[in-house]
Structure 1
Amino acid sequence: MHGGGFAFGDLDMPEADAVARGLAAAGTTVFSVDYRLAPVPPTWDGADQQTDDRSGNRYPAASDDVLRAWEWATSHAEELGVTRLAIGGASAGANLATGATLRLLGADGILPRLVVLAYPTLLAVQPAPGPALRAALAAHPEHDRFGADVVRDMYENYLGGSVIGAPIAAVPGLASATELRGFPPTLMINSEIDELSVSGDVFAATLREAGGDVEVVVEPGTDHGHLNRPEHPGFAASMARIAQRFAGLAAS
């Protein structure tokens, strides 16, 4: 699933289209999934791009769309010759992949064999970055785009209200180790200069506490959204990591 702060993005953006085409070329069957977008607040950049009525598209609309796509994929897997299913996304799409998996886990549904998360956003109230990331952001202020207020506003728009008491399927970083027990093996690829990586680190730590299998990679020389830049060396590096995990999954 593509990203876009839950309010932007489509299947034509590179982190959906180029990623899907690249994985398909490597022999993976890909279902590229779109989802309902939340309204764009009038104070946000790009508000003039919204021409459709999205008033009903708050959580769980996008999550429901992802679950419906997953249920379709699992019910048609045999006829398509697919024996092992994974789920994944980038940024807000990674949030949706994680949240859908948590919903499946809680409902004893069919779980993915692998979860792939590219530079995920998983917390609405984001901890402060550590010294190394703070220094990197200070050295590259053009990449300092996801401060605490920006992230909280994004989630409040997605939820349609306060982030207090939000369900873990909407804010997966809130999940406890108990709630993550049984979560599938996970590959997380964080961008090197990305404040959102803090939320991924929190989720990965809790997943490890739950006994989960999680591999966290920081892609060198990248900032948030590097899968939207196929010309960047980080795109090819991340694609190779994902393809390698898929190859291992197919051989298992």
Structure 2
Amino acid sequence: MSENPTPYGAAGGVVRVYPARVLDRPTPGLVWLHGGGFAAGDIDMPEADYVARTLADAGTTVLSVDYRLAPLPDGWEAPVTEPGRERAGYPAASDDTLTAWEWVLAEAATLGVDPARLAIGGASAGANIAAGAVLRLIETDRQLPALVLLAYPTLLAEQPEPEGDLRAALDARPEADRFGPDAVRGMYENYLGGSVVNAPLGAIPGLASVEELTEYPPTLIVAGDVDELRVSSEHFARTLAAAGREVEHVIEPGTDHGHLNRPDEGDAASLTLARFAARLTALTP
């Protein structure tokens, strides 16, 4: 599998291109964003590199975005290698994503990508950035993705408390219960550089109303089984459905948050990526 890191944008970010392992061209495309609480992660982590390689092997050209990270919160351990560009909160990562999106559309012929089958997606905080970027594309009347793929997304800064079976599962596995209200709100406050009150939808897409989602593309959400953030993805899926949009919400059995970043732990990552690959392959020209 070849890699072609291609620079874009004044901030010096890159998009790493993973060409599809197929002979036929053009292929479906996917603009993909890793997670990391908005302030950590990189395009070499499994949630980026393993995901991209797997989906490229299945026939999709993947464009992994090395977006600008938010400032490192107090108490977080600094990465061994800091990114070679400035840290910045919202809208830096969203702006980088939109720049990458426009770059891929402009270079689609060179990349061998069918622009009509170009999707966007991400995991965890990356899923938030992807979902919010789509809302910004809608607001500015630009080309929308053919498909949105979200893995265990965080979509609300102040999410409802989990109830029923999810609450019981979290109580039984306290090591998985790491996204309580204070932790989530603090993550968003760091990303926003201030209060979550009146934050833009691009930063908190789960707040979008039915009316604001009437043009949202078809969406597949794969949530963690024992993951408090599941509450926000369920909320977003219900709102999309109420807006008459095509949405599928799947709970990957036996998983907690971040299973795409742990591909060696059982079959969960492979199952989720098989779901994604099937939806990407099914996109029609």
Query: What is the TM-score when the length of structure 2 is the normalising length?
Result: 0.85
Q: Which residue of 1 aligns with 2:234?
A: 201
CA distance in 2, matches of 1:121, 1:34: 19
Alpha-carbon RMSD across the aligned residues, in angstroms, is 1.5
Greater strand proportion: 2
CA distance in 1, matches of 2:174, 2:282: 38
How many residues in Structure 1 have an aligned counterpart in Structure 2?
250
Query: What is the TM-score when the length of structure 1 is the normalising length?
Result: 0.95
Superposed displacement of residue 53, structure 1? 9.1
- The within-5 A match list for 1:1-252 is 1-42=33-74, 44-47=75-78, 51=82, 57-83=88-114, 84-231=117-264, 232-249=266-283, 251=284
Alpha-carbon contact 1:41-1:47 (below 8 Å) kept: no
CA distance in 2, matches of 1:244, 1:145: 31
CA distance in 2, matches of 1:55, 1:34: 12
Superposed displacement of residue 48, structure 1? 6.9
Superposed displacement of residue 4, structure 1? 0.2
Alpha-carbon contact 1:38-1:54 (below 8 Å) kept: no
| Structure 1 portions without partners, runs of 5+ | none
Counterpart secondary structure, 1:208: helix
Q: Percent identity?
A: 62
CA distance in 1, matches of 2:111, 2:281: 18
CA distance in 2, matches of 1:210, 1:50: 43
Superposed displacement of residue 81, structure 1? 2.4
CA distance in 2, matches of 1:202, 1:77: 34
CA distance in 1, matches of 2:84, 2:113: 36
Alpha-carbon contact 1:185-1:212 (below 8 Å) kept: yes
Alpha-carbon contact 1:92-1:120 (below 8 Å) kept: yes
Alpha-carbon contact 2:68-2:87 (below 8 Å) kept: no
Alpha-carbon contact 2:120-2:145 (below 8 Å) kept: yes
In 2 relative to 1, CA 35–139 (structure 1 residues): closer, same or farther, beyond 3 Å?
same
CA distance in 2, matches of 1:71, 1:197: 30
Superposed displacement of residue 50, structure 1? 7.6
CA distance in 1, matches of 2:156, 2:205: 7
CA distance in 1, matches of 2:87, 2:249: 35
Counterpart secondary structure, 2:102: helix
In 2 relative to 1, CA 54–133 (structure 1 residues): closer, same or farther, beyond 3 Å?
farther
Alpha-carbon contact 1:185-1:213 (below 8 Å) kept: yes
